[in-house]
Amino acid sequence: MGTSERIAELVEPILLDRGHELYDVELTGATVRVLVDREGGVALDDLEQLAREISGVLDEADPLPDRFYLEVSSPGLERPLRQPKHFQTAVGTKVKVKTLPSVEGDRRVDGLLAAADDDSVTVETDAGPRRLAYDDIERARTVFEWGGNPKPGTASKSSSTSKTSTNKKRSAS
């Protein structure tokens, strides 16, 4: 069992007791990032409390040989997709995928995630569907789009003007 899996095993019971779920554990240098999710989102107060509890459990179990920095956060609006379950829950959303250099074709694949199983994903791109094995993916994330679709019959220019006006009002306050 790897270090990420061991940390996941230690923190998952804490999260489940508090009505949250573990999205992912990322190890980057001396940073342990625990990504937490919950139906309806995660509140800042929840993250602070969870960070204290997780820190105590990790200090006691000591799963890392050296000192580390703990970050507990939500996966955010543009979520990293690293495991098959991440891709499977993101089916139907826009994604950005970067393939490994050895993979034939364009390295950047943007489009709608049409399907995901235990071995691969299918992304609907402007050029058609592209099937990629998980082993061929360097990194991937969901894409958050601000605002909704323009109303039928509304020109995109007026929609753009509306957004600009709103942003100016916000920055002036």
What contacts 24+ positions apart, CB below 8 Å, involve 100-103? 100/136, 100/137, 100/138, 103/132, 103/136
Half-sphere exposure of 11 toward its Cβ, with a 13 Å CA cutoff?
A: 35
pLDDT over 90 (residue 16)? yes
Q: Is the pLDDT of residue 168 over 50?
A: no
DSSP annotation of 2 reads -
The answer to whether residue 116 scores a pLDDT higher than 90 is: yes
Confirm if 19 and 50 have CB atoms less than 8 A apart.
no
Q: What's the CATH code, domain 84-142?
A: 2.30.30.100
Q: Give just the sign of the alpha carbon dihedral 134, 137, 141, 143.
A: negative
Q: Residue 50: how many CA atoms within 13 Å on its side-chain side?
A: 30
The length of the chain is: 173
pLDDT band at 43 (very low <50, low <70, confident <90, very high): very high
Question: Please, which pLDDT band fits residue 100 given cuts at 50, 70 and 90?
Answer: very high
What pLDDT shows up at residue 64? 86
Query: Distance (Å, rounded) from C-alpha 84 to C-alpha 25?
Result: 14
The rounded mean pLDDT for the chain is: 86
Q: In this model, does residue 171 exceed pLDDT 70?
A: no
Q: pLDDT class for 146, splitting at 50, 70, 90?
A: confident
Q: How confident is the model at residue 56 (pLDDT cuts 50, 70, 90)?
A: very high
| Residue 141 pLDDT | 97
Q: What is the pLDDT of residue 145?
A: 84
Q: Are 101 and 115 in contact (CB under 8 A)?
A: no
pLDDT of residue 164: 29
Residue 118, exposed/middle/buried by CB under 10 A (0-12, 13-18, 19+)? Answer: exposed
Taking the domains of the chain in order of start, what are their residue ranges?
3-73, 84-142
Name the token pair of 25. 């554990």
Predicted confidence at residue 165, as pLDDT, reads: 31
Class of domain 3-73: alpha beta
How far apart, in Å, are the Cα atoms of 102 and each of 51, 83, 87, 113, 135? 39, 20, 22, 22, 11
Whether this model's pTM surpasses 0.75: no
CA angle, 55 then 65 then 27, to 5°: 65
Using pLDDT thresholds of 50, 70 and 90, give the confidence band for residue 147. confident
Once rounded to an integer, what is the mean pLDDT over residues 127-152?
Answer: 87
Mean pLDDT (whole number) for 45-64: 93
CA neighbor of 23 nearest in space, from 81, 77, 64, 69: 81
